[in-house]
Amino acid sequence: MEKLHYEISPEFAHLEEFVLEVKSHFKQSNKTIHKARNELKTLTINDENFVVKSFKIPKAFQKFIYSFCKNSKAKTSFLNALSLKKLEITTPDPVAFIEFYENGFLKESYFIAKEWKYDFTIREPLLDANFPEKETLLKAFATFVYKLHEKHIIHKDLSPGNILIKKAKLQMCVVDINRMKFAPLSLNQRLKNFAKLWAKDEDLKTIIKHYALLSNIDEKKAIFLALKASHQLKAKINFKKRLKGIKVVD
């Protein structure tokens, strides 16, 4: 017998019916915006657009963990979004999370957020040497991450696609937030956080120089630590790719 558990943000209480039926809405929609381990789709309700993230059905051991020991990724995303909002960090407005259980074990979970319109992600300027106002964008990104760190927030998956950008005023928004940590950070933790950008050394130096200026830390030391972490992560991932016969792109 299927049971469910959910929570809705008070400002979106009028969407309860939609939340309860989100599984069927999701399956019927063909508006997929990302599909890998998890899947994201856009859904429109009453002329408003929402992004729904369906998390991969957990395997047997994970079912036990997420049923009895840890919050589901959907619930964690929802709670993290609420925390970010309280800390005045831009993230899509959290609408709800909903979990479906079968025989007492978590089977499916969904996180729903209001769509945040953006022009590009930080990936585009990192990949394009001639991207307009590239240096300004990278410095704005450094400022955004500095703001996160100063508020004791570390995004454990700070990959290029997870920072959305509106060209006007260079407003930035953080997504894919189920893996975050809220705690004071050491200098090494702060600089290691940039490694998943997979940035070229020149671009990473531009980011870290501005970050060091904002943080009032030694620029050379900051660049050394950030580059070291970046090189180590690239070497580790590329080694695994070579073992699997996957093409390596530095």
Residue type, 61: F
Task: Say how far apart CA 190 and CA 152 lie, in whole Å.
Answer: 10
pTM of the model: 0.91
Looking at 1.10.3280, 1.10.10, 2.60.40, 3.30.200, the CATH number of the domain 2-114 comes to: 3.30.200
Q: Look over the chain and give the mean of its residue pLDDT values, rounded to a whole number.
A: 92
Instruction: Give me the pLDDT at residue 213, please.
Output: 98
Q: What is the pLDDT of residue 1?
A: 64
As a whole-number percent, the residues of the chain with pLDDT over 90 amount to 79
Task: Give the model's pLDDT for residue 61.
Answer: 62
Q: Is the pLDDT of residue 9 over 70?
A: yes
Please give the sequence-ordered ranges of beta strands (E in DSSP) within the chain, or none if there are none.
2-8, 32-35, 39-45, 48-54, 94-102, 105-114, 120-121, 153-155, 163-166, 171-174, 180-182
Domain boundaries, the chain: 2-114, 120-243
* CATH code at 120-243: 1.10.510
Residue 195 has pLDDT above 70, yes or no: yes
Answer yes or no: are the C-beta atoms of 214 and 146 closer than 8 Å. Answer: yes
Question: Is the predicted pLDDT of residue 66 greater than 70, yes or no?
Answer: no
Q: What percent of the chain has pLDDT over 70?
A: 95
pLDDT digits (tens, 9 = 90+) for 208-229: 999 999 999 999 999 999 999 9
Please state at what angle helix 219-243 crosses helix 201-215, rounded to 10 degrees. 140
State mean pLDDT over 110-134.
97
Q: What is the mean pLDDT of residues 41-54?
A: 95
pLDDT band per the 50, 70, 90 thresholds, residue 102:
confident
Task: Report how far residue 74's alpha carbon sits from residue 99's, in angstroms, rounded to the nearest whole number.
Answer: 8
